[in-house]
Amino acid sequence: MESKKLIIATTSLNRPDLHKNIIPDWLVFLKELNLDIIWIINIDCIDKLHFTYEETVENYKNMLENEVELHILPKKNPGFLDSCHRLSKYIYDYGILNIKNNKLHKVAWLEDDWRCRYIRFKVKCSNLVRIMGEKSLLSFRFLRQKYIWALSPSIMAYNLFIELHYSCWDECKKKNIKGDPEHLLGLYCRKKMNVDRIKSVLILNARFKKIKSEFNDLKFVQEPYGCIMLLEKQKQPNVKLNTLKNLTDTIEFIKKDICIISIAPHMTEDKGREYMEQYNIKKNKHDGVKYENK
């Protein structure tokens, strides 16, 4: 029988000192799913950071090699869009060779600078993933809009990753389209689907999120395409939530449709900006590739 897999795609820079504070918590959080983990990493090296490709690789091996099936891609010229295409193409090719039943597996998108705060918010990954359907994407950020293309930390159905992320970036590669990969993915999604009709579920962690009546005004949670589910059913908010569903009804609501699932409050924290500021480096937002002095 084919074992269920979680394929993790990580875009990384040469900053292993940051990774030591980021990767271990994600490893513990994701291993709780009890899936076979294949972790694929692309490392882009920029001159303004002081660590080498080899030092970055060695650090990843020390943290992950004995825990997961680790694939580190060969060194290349830096470029974020190219890195996204390279990772998605590697996953696509891996699937052709190693996967028979696409519906069994999931892909996690995890850039190297997002901190996982599962301990702070007392969240188990399995309690979030259990509601996912055949074409679901679970974002670990609180999304107020149906930005299914957001490249924040997330887990998605393997088929959805191939349909959206791989197909978009492969088309960009073949047509020599340049730009920021998240922006290009957003354009692709809007071209391929009616985003307003995508189903959406907001998981509320009411133990840590103060619930206000304004939640009912979020388009993300409004009928007929949106709903709210409580992470802990015994922790009830003080206000009436119009589209509140229990676990069973939420799973039935999602079914096999494309669905984006978000969690409030955020259970991730962007540590990359703070890290780069100490080196006086900023990303060039026009192409999402170059790094320059502030």
The CATH number of whichever domain residue 120 belongs to comes to 3.90.550
How many domains would you assign to the chain? 1
Structure tokens at 82: 């190219």
3-class SS of residue 226: strand
Distance CA 34, CA 115 (A): 21
CB contact burial 173-183 (16+ within 10 A = b; e otherwise): beeeeeebbbe
Are residues 199 and 253 in contact, defined by beta-carbon separation less than 8 angstroms? yes
pTM, two decimals, is 0.95
Q: Would 261 be classed as within a structural domain? A: no
Is 78 among the domain residues?
yes
- For 50, the domain range is 5-133+142-194
Residue 195 has what DSSP assignment?
G
Whether residue 103 lies inside any domain: the answer is yes
- Domain membership flag for residue 253: no
- Whether 226 is covered by a domain: the verdict is no
Res 239: pLDDT: 86
How many CB atoms are located within 10 Å of the residue 271 CB?
Answer: 15
Is 97 within a domain? Answer: yes
Confirm whether 173 is domain-assigned: yes
Angstrom distance (rounded) from CA 249 to CA 244: 10
Give me the pLDDT at residue 290, please.
59
Per-residue model confidence as pLDDT tens for the chain (294 residues): 899 999 999 999 999 999 999 999 999 999 999 999 999 999 999 998 999 999 999 999 999 999 999 999 999 999 999 999 999 999 999 999 999 999 999 999 999 999 999 888 888 999 999 999 999 999 999 999 999 999 999 999 999 999 999 999 999 999 999 999 999 999 999 999 999 999 999 999 887 777 888 889 999 999 999 999 999 876 777 888 999 999 999 999 999 999 999 999 999 999 999 999 988 887 765 555 556 665
Q: Where are the beta strands (DSSP E) in the chain?
A: 5-13, 36-44, 69-72, 106-109, 114-116, 136-139, 154-157, 199-204, 226-230, 244-245, 259-264, 268-270, 281-283, 291-293
The per-residue pLDDT for 75 is 96
Residue 207 and residue 197: Cα distance in Å, rounded?
Answer: 30
Is 101 among the domain residues?
yes
